[in-house]
Structure 1
Amino acid sequence: MNYELLFDALKSRRIRIAVTGASGGFGRSLLVQCRDIPSLDIVALCDLNTQGAQDLLQELNYGKEATVCDDAASTLDAQAQGKTAIVADFNLLDNLELDMVIEATGKPEISVRIAVNALQRGVHVGMVSKETDSVAGPWLNNMALKHNAVYTTVDGDQPANLLGLITWARVLGFDVIAAGKSSEYDYVWSQTSGELDYCGRKVDAKALAGHWALGEDVKHTLAERKALLSMLPLSATPDYCEMNVVANSAALVPACDALNYPLCHISELADVFIPLEEGGILTQTGVVDVFNCLRRDDEVSFGGGVFIIVRCKDDATWEMLAGKGHVVGRNRKYACIYLPYHIMGLESPHSIFSAVLHQRSSGSTQQAIHAVMAGYADRDLKKGELLEMGGHHHTIPDVSARLLAKADAEQVAPYYLLSNKVLTRDVAAGELIKLDALEMEDSLLWTAWQESWDMEH
């Protein structure tokens, strides 16, 4: 793809955008790249921390004057003067002339309102808040179509990147057996010391040497590795959310409720994510899943990247490709194609250009639910408890994630619909949290979920 030709219209077009949740890590990475793209005009930044947003622009030497605005008149005046308006109230964005809103608050109930406000006036929405998309993505897609706007996940985050890889393969006629990503952080082993480093936490893992190579019994090797590293976190809530978005976008289903999370090397992916009867771990195909990247300290990272497993349909071709270093399974029936990077907002302008210049989503226009990220009670939860979401990974204490096929999710509450809701009844440890256990008053996210589910029934 020649991107200069694809987006040739940028030479004569300025694109007006607003970024919400602007002072977060994603907002920063997007703004860093926008500095070098003359056609992008940052009309507004929305963040409760207005001083943080202002400081960020100054730190980045943005080169455009910014001003904090607290009412409609001042925001309009800022745009008229060519300044970036910094606002705490997202409703003030409705006063501005915009082509697209990039939504990155990570707060589902607020996020869905921001998206609705934009779409209803024909402004495109790039949804970075995957928490919102996992609950309301199909509903917001439907709304966008009704208002001649684009609703999309954005390049640079794994859901859009993986959907790009899946659809690239499908257009080329590949049979996609599985699609997935690595979890956020690698498990890095030192041959010298025998220690394994995970996010700065080091554990003695000398015994890994005996299980470093994938044995003939794949499941046995994976089980041994998992047992040796069981003291470390081996799954992460955001992964379930991202795979939920991909499943809905690409009409795939979860490999299993807990996802498999094998500890494996990049070179093993085409031996692991294949059908059980052929030596792998999958009980069905056409699935989403996640792996934990196990590597030596002198090996390259997967970079939080994405992969697909495809079926090999010509022995000679794939033998040749294996000789060139591509990841082909030992039985030569499957191959792994992957993108070893995840560079966040640095890549997201492509999605802005696609939406504004071509009226095309970088994600999907799917309006169907194929998977539901559910909340699983890790302890007895009591009536009246607040399920408060927080932390870097946007988790709910004592509630872990599961990813269910739609057929198994009747009356189950999506995980991020639980966010900051009060329980109306007790939920026993080991139960999935149901919709009737939540206080839903004034929840637009609940409306979105109801209508999405009802659209298909």
Structure 2
Amino acid sequence: MGLYQQLQERQERNMPLRVGVVGAGKFGTMFLAQALRIPGVHVVGVADLRVDVAKSNMVYAGWSPDRLEAASLDAALQSGTTHVGEDAMAMIDHPGVDIVVECTGNPVIAVDHALAAFAAGKHVISATVEADAVCGAALVARAEAAGVIYSQAYGDQPAMTVELVDWARTCGFEVAAAGRGHKWKPEYRFSTPDTIWDFWGVTPEQAERGRLNPKMFNSFLDGTKPAIESAAISNATGLNAPTHGLSYPPGAIDDIATLMRPRSEGGVLEEAGMVEVISSFAADGTMIPNDIRQGVWVVVKATSDYVKNCFEEYMVSTDDSGLYYCNFKRFHLIGLELGLSVGSVGIRKEATGTSKEFRSDVVAVAKRDLKAGEMLDGEGGYCVAGQLRPTRISVPMRALPLGLTGDIKLLRDVPVDTILTYDDVEIDESLNAVKLRRECEAMV
């Protein structure tokens, strides 16, 4: 039975999945826009430090103001409406919430929310993939110990790529590579919130209309978010990170099968079984038609002449050897697709992607010459960008995780394009995110 039918049945029995959303920014608002139309789901509460902004976003997304005025979570449960407040921990702890959707985008806070949810016996769907990159395997272990689920968020590219990899392996294919697309030029590594909209191709007016956060979008452009999402894919699927980080080979959708082969077979991979990101810019800086910038993909290899012949007989588009085939979703719809995670976790008790190990990491790299005494400003800011590395390299060198660079003090100068280490900064070892990070590092 499909998820939609099962959700309908829950609606008919007045037994909805009761959801609490933490963070009503872009991702949270996109989900909330769709939640109005999903049967069997009751958004009991929304927690955001800016209650007025959260309500404004929800009204902008189609909610009627009267549905947001429940005075408490208890009142929301009784009336079928939604309570919007600022106390995330109170909502997480409330017995009327079954599933917590964490979409603050702040990995340190997200870890606190997840641990509180586990302690309260709640499932967590995390759109804060930054937390997954910092300590996802430890979070999964904590969730399993509590008898609950910690899941990646469908609609985000990691969960959608994990789905493609699962499809490939379940069908008996060998996975050569998997990943996402990106609009990439090397100079984007140094982008800041001041340069983002010109680089991104959005006017300031469009950004204001969409209530887009320049720092968040800059984290996509400067390579941080592709690195974070690639780490999440790697840790969920067992695919490896490139030794020196993502290489962003340019190509159209029809080029991916050719590119994503080992170098020994004419591709760009150092070995089979990797994560990578495909650039939508050609070497001369022009946009490539039929690009995968907003999508995800998996490349599989035929492991017998029979399967290779089947590709040919059914006119499948492959590389020139006829062995490699790319399956893809050209677009992802971010929070608009989160209902699949809610249904999967709430009904099937299955995560839509989860970090099984700590195989890949996202290290902080200086965007400019940094000086002792400066305060780092985290993801998408003016100081550092994230780059992907295998944990076999990052952990022994004590590389500073990108997700721990928010509002921490530099102890010494760091030259541009240098990977920061723990020795370069003041780290608060009392933070839950740091404690779980240490648990992950012990896994390597």
TM-score, with structure 1 as normaliser:
0.81
Other-structure match for 1:183: 182
Equivalent of 1:342 in 308, 318, 332: 332
Alpha carbons of 1:350 and 1:185: their partners in 2 closer, same or farther (altered >3 Å)? farther
Other-structure match for 2:267: 280
Equivalent of 1:65 in 64, 67, 76: 67
Could you tell me whether the CA contact under 8 Å between 1:76 and 1:95 is conserved in 2?
A: no
1:401 aligns with 2:401: no
Amino acid of the residue matched to residue 440 of structure 2?
Answer: S
**CA deviation string 1:112-141 (max 9, x = no partner):** 111111111111110001111111211111
Alpha carbons of 1:371 and 1:125: their partners in 2 closer, same or farther (altered >3 Å)? same
1:447 aligns with 2:432: no
Among the aligned pairs, what percent are the same residue?
Answer: 27
Task: Return the alpha-carbon distance in structure 1 between the equivalents of residues 307 and 360 of structure 2.
Answer: 35
Could you tell me whether the CA contact under 8 Å between 1:266 and 1:293 is conserved in 2?
A: no
Equivalent of 2:377 in 388, 391, 397: 388
Task: Return the alpha-carbon distance in structure 1 between the equivalents of residues 224 and 106 of structure 2.
Answer: 15
Count of paired positions? 406
Task: Return the alpha-carbon distance in structure 2 between the equivalents of residues 341 and 401 of structure 1.
Answer: 23
1:238 aligns with 2:225: yes
Match of 1:420, SS?
Answer: strand
**CA deviation string 1:325-359 (max 9, x = no partner):** 64300122212111212011222111111111122
Other-structure match for 1:17: 19
Deviation at residue 314 of structure 1 after TM alignment: 4.3
Task: Choose 1 or 2 for highest CA Rg.
Answer: 1
**CA deviation string 1:77-103 (max 9, x = no partner):** 444444311112322214522111111
**CA deviation string 1:184-232 (max 9, x = no partner):** 589xxxxxxxxxx974389xxxxxxxxxxxxxxxxxxxxxxxxxxxxxx
Task: Return the alpha-carbon distance in structure 2 between the equivalents of residues 169 and 290 of structure 1.
Answer: 18
Other-structure match for 1:29: 30
Could you tell me whether the CA contact under 8 Å between 2:377 and 2:383 is conserved in 1?
A: no
Task: Return the alpha-carbon distance in structure 2 between the equivalents of residues 75 and 159 of structure 1.
Answer: 32
**Gap regions ≥5 residues in structure 2:** 186-197, 204-219
Q: Mean Cα displacement is larger for which, 314-323 or 394-403?
A: 314-323
Task: Return the alpha-carbon distance in structure 1 between the equivalents of residues 257 and 147 of structure 2.
Answer: 41
Match of 2:280, SS?
Answer: strand
Alpha carbons of 1:56 and 1:429: their partners in 2 closer, same or farther (altered >3 Å)? closer
Could you tell me whether the CA contact under 8 Å between 2:46 and 2:82 is conserved in 1?
A: yes
Equivalent of 2:296 in 306, 319, 322: 306
Alpha carbons of 1:324 and 1:298: their partners in 2 closer, same or farther (altered >3 Å)? farther
Alpha carbons of 1:61 and 1:7: their partners in 2 closer, same or farther (altered >3 Å)? closer
Could you tell me whether the CA contact under 8 Å between 1:234 and 1:261 is conserved in 2?
A: no
Task: Return the alpha-carbon distance in structure 1 between the equivalents of residues 234 and 50 of structure 2.
Answer: 34
**1:131-280 equivalent positions in 2, closer than 5 A:** 131-183=130-182, 199-200=200-201, 236-280=223-267
Amino acid of the residue matched to residue 380 of structure 1?
Answer: D
Other-structure match for 1:125: 124
**Gap regions ≥5 residues in structure 1:** 187-196, 203-232
Alpha carbons of 1:75 and 1:241: their partners in 2 closer, same or farther (altered >3 Å)? same
Match of 1:263, SS?
Answer: coil
Other-structure match for 1:89: 87
Deviation at residue 68 of structure 1 after TM alignment: 7.5
Equivalent of 1:359 in 342, 349, 353: 349
Other-structure match for 2:103: 104
